[in-house]
Structure 1
Amino acid sequence: MKLIEVIVAILLPPLGVFLKVGIGKQFWINLLLTFLGFIPGVIHALFVIMSD
């Protein structure tokens, strides 16, 4: 399951965060980071997924 979450986080970072924590503070932060630059969004999504 973790592998699928990581793949989704790399392809669509906000979706990966949404699947892990739902719509909350982390989701909105990730959405903003993804709009500002794709790489920061991916890094944040991987951080959120791996910090379980």
Structure 2
Amino acid sequence: MVNRCEIFCEILIAILLPPLGVCLRHGCCTVEFWLCVLSTLLHMLDRALHHLAPVLAMLYSCTNLPVKCHCV
């Protein structure tokens, strides 16, 4: 029988590190694990691009350049 502490730890691991949670539940050489790894990596890439876009937009905008540019 699984106690509450084990369930809590498994839920916490699944929230913080989804591939590790899937690995513990299904094993490391399963389709579920590799789909979870791929999904996590794509989500991390999406979030990185989402947070990087405003910084790049600010760096390359016409208002922040020392020389006057003719942007449309």
TM range (shorter): 0.5 to 0.7
- Give, as a single letter, the amino acid of the residue that structure 1 aligns with 2:43: G
> Can you give the 5+ residue segments of structure 1 that lack an aligned partner in the other structure?
39-52
CA RMSD of aligned residues (A): 1.0
Runs of 4 or more above 6 Å deviation: none
In the alignment of these two chains, the number of paired residues is: 38
Structure number with the bigger relative contact order (C-alpha 8 A, sep ≥ 6) is 1
Larger Rg: 2
Name the TM-score, length of structure 1 as normaliser. Answer: 0.66
Q: Identity of counterpart residues, as a percentage?
A: 45
Greater helix percent: which structure?
A: 1
Name the TM-score, length of structure 2 as normaliser. Answer: 0.49
> Can you give the 5+ residue segments of structure 2 that lack an aligned partner in the other structure?
1-5, 45-72
